[in-house]
Structure 1
Amino acid sequence: MKLHLLDRGNLNNRSFTTKVNDYPYFLKIWHYHPELELVVILKNEGTCFVGDNIEKFESGDIVLLGKNLPHMWLNEDDFFKAGVNQSAIAIHFKEDYLGTTFFETPEMEHILALFKKARFGLKFLEVPKKTIKEIKSMLKLEGYEKTISFLNILNKLARSKQTKSLTNEGFINSFKTTQNQTQDKVLTYIFKNFNRVITLTEVAELAHMNPTAFSRYFKRTNRKTFSRYLAEVRIGYACKLLLENKHNISSICYKSGFNNISNFNRQFKLIMNCSPSTYSNKHTNNH
């Protein structure tokens, strides 16, 4: 599961971009970009991978993703309801899209606080249908009216009390590549090689540390051990394969980097609170 940097830059000389994705399937790429992304699921169900978090998404969900936060949307309907298009609104914008100091003013500081929370990935719970209608209506506007409409939407989201953070501080810190090149090198190595045997010693050598020092460093930075982090990456990929329903569990075990079924089942249950077969059957039965 290679991590991709996608270009979400604005090609139309506008401060933010809006798009309705209406395809048979969503973009199934583990990726990140410097823009924040507001996602509104209009018609779909599936699993979202945000940082180190894996959970279900469904129609009506609204999620705000911070800049450079790795994510992937894996919809289920393209596997179980062939021919039915999936639909979602995606809005991309820079944190300073209205100027470098606009959101630092006292009147806008609550929206700036929203942007800061979004670096963890923020899911809005119990969103009024009226808010979704306003977002859909905004897509038809242009220029000043569209800008004011989007600002009003951000204002409402910023004042929402029902929210849920999707990933943790340690994971976010690990992707601050400009501040921690060692951490970036280590995580890139893990994502490129997680489906084979990776030892603590070889990764420690990559960071120019002895295994003991690296183990302490990794746990302090990511708030979890190296082995736990690696297991979560592997299980996240295993969930993706299970939902695709193209491989049996034994094959998925080895494709995800585990060397025996018993350890795979044990780690899967520890992280996902159910067995691989239960996870697969649950999502299959939902359709």
Structure 2
Amino acid sequence: MRITRESIPHAEESLRCLHLALPTFEGGLHRHGHFELTWIERGHGLRWVGDSVEPYFDGDLVLVGSDLPHLWASRGVQPPQGCTATVLQFAPDWLQRCGLPELKAMAPLLALAAPGVAVQGSTGAEVQRLLSRLPGLSAQRRVAVFIEVLDCLLAGRADLRALSASPHSAPTPVRGGGAGPQRIDKVLNWIEAHLAEELSVPDAAAVAHVSPAAFGRYFHREVGKTFTAYVNDARCGWAALRLIQGREPIAQIAQSCGFATLSNFGEQFRRRYGLAPRDFRAGHVDPVRGHLPTPQGQ
């Protein structure tokens, strides 16, 4: 399975606006040439954006850069009313195509958002308020609200937290030819689909069709971190979600999330969240309104 290259048709509108109402958010990692602003109104699970994997809950708000792999995957028991999200998609040259000189000042925002940014604090609350106005509006009024959203994001850029270490949005072909750009897509989706299993470098190299000796350099170049670090980040994010969602024994969570030993899980988790798993769980009584610690190094 490789990351789907999604086509976004909206020939008669410069801005694509979607309101999703589903039992769960499923599917695989995918990418497209458009920027995407996603607001999770209701739902929880794991969010994959570039080289970042973190839990998400109601109110999650993220601006994803062009060609950045991303996925919101439901995990655990979902709300009985189902999961809902509002999604805005727009071309990277949207500001230039509008031709309005007043919008040129917003160009730095898109550069800032290239690696994907989580919108937090008062800026996140204001953007959610603006997005809630979109249902039922005409296409022209949606554009007007969208300009307000961009202005709000630019003014509140102190509330934007980068998710990926760097965009890594254009995979480079592996020497020797072949479908180089598609190889890393296959590996990332393979990791997502088999996160609880043993994930070895030889197996990952086979998925990418490169030698085990060359795989480490290849993965780091395309993703921005080592294979082991990426897998451990994803497993710790999944474990953080489960620590908050239920009362499973910590040893059981560690094993279910792919860690061979409880001690290794504790070490990896503290390295990313600055807390032992037990302390992390004790500090998060309300997962919907609570605040997750920012993973270390992000």
TM-score by shorter chain over 0.5? yes
Report the counterpart of residue 217 of structure 1 in structure 2: 218
Structure 1 residue 252: Cα displacement: 2.2
Residue identity matched to 1:263: N
Contact 1:50 1:71 in 2 (8 A): yes
Report the counterpart of residue 110 of structure 2 in structure 1: 115
Alignment partners' CA distance in 1, 2:151 and 2:128: 14
Structure 1 residue 8: Cα displacement: 8.9
After superposition, give the CA deviation of every residue in 1:57-107 in whole Å (9 maximum; x if it has no partner): 665x6432234441327699x77xx76x699761322316969x5057754
Alignment partners' CA distance in 2, 1:42 and 1:147: 21
**TM-aligned CA distance change 1:240 to 1:183, over 3 Å:** same
After superposition, give the CA deviation of every residue in 1:144-164 in whole Å (9 maximum; x if it has no partner): 233223223323423443222
Report the counterpart of residue 70 of structure 1 in structure 2: 70
Report the counterpart of residue 293 of structure 2 in structure 1: none
Report the counterpart of residue 268 of structure 2 in structure 1: 267
Residue identity matched to 1:117: L
After superposition, give the CA deviation of every residue in 1:252-275 in whole Å (9 maximum; x if it has no partner): 222222222222222222222222
Contact 2:42 2:84 in 1 (8 A): yes
Please identify, of 131-140 and 113-122, the stretch whose mean Cα deviation from structure 2 is larger.
Answer: 131-140
Report the secondary structure of 1:91's partner residue. strand
> Which stretches in structure 1 are left out of the alignment for 5+ residues?
none
Residue identity matched to 1:281: A
Alignment partners' CA distance in 2, 1:109 and 1:91: 23
Report the counterpart of residue 154 of structure 1 in structure 2: 150
Contact 2:30 2:70 in 1 (8 A): yes
Q: TM-score, normalization: structure 2?
A: 0.69
Report the secondary structure of 1:283's partner residue. coil
Contact 1:53 1:167 in 2 (8 A): no
**TM-aligned CA distance change 1:103 to 1:175, over 3 Å:** farther
2:133 to 133, 137, 144: 137
The size of the alignment, in residue pairs, is: 279
Contact 1:114 1:158 in 2 (8 A): yes
Report the secondary structure of 1:120's partner residue. coil
Report the counterpart of residue 282 of structure 2 in structure 1: 281
After superposition, give the CA deviation of every residue in 1:198-218 in whole Å (9 maximum; x if it has no partner): 222333344444433322232
Contact 1:20 1:88 in 2 (8 A): yes
Alignment partners' CA distance in 1, 2:190 and 2:46: 25
Alignment partners' CA distance in 2, 1:200 and 1:222: 15
Report the counterpart of residue 201 of structure 2 in structure 1: 200
| RMSD, aligned α-carbons | 4.3
Alignment partners' CA distance in 2, 1:128 and 1:182: 35
Report the secondary structure of 1:215's partner residue. helix
Report the counterpart of residue 295 of structure 2 in structure 1: none
Contact 1:15 1:97 in 2 (8 A): no
Alignment partners' CA distance in 2, 1:280 and 1:30: 28
**TM-aligned CA distance change 1:259 to 1:104, over 3 Å:** farther
Residue identity matched to 1:167: S
> Which stretches in structure 2 are left out of the alignment for 5+ residues?
174-178, 289-298
Alignment partners' CA distance in 2, 1:263 and 1:146: 49
Q: What is the aligned-residue identity percentage?
A: 21
Residue identity matched to 2:163: L
- Residue 123 of structure 2 is aligned to residue 127 of structure 1: yes
Report the counterpart of residue 36 of structure 1 in structure 2: 35
Alignment partners' CA distance in 1, 2:113 and 2:153: 11
Q: TM-score, normalization: structure 1?
A: 0.71
**TM-aligned CA distance change 1:284 to 1:22, over 3 Å:** farther
Contact 1:65 1:122 in 2 (8 A): yes
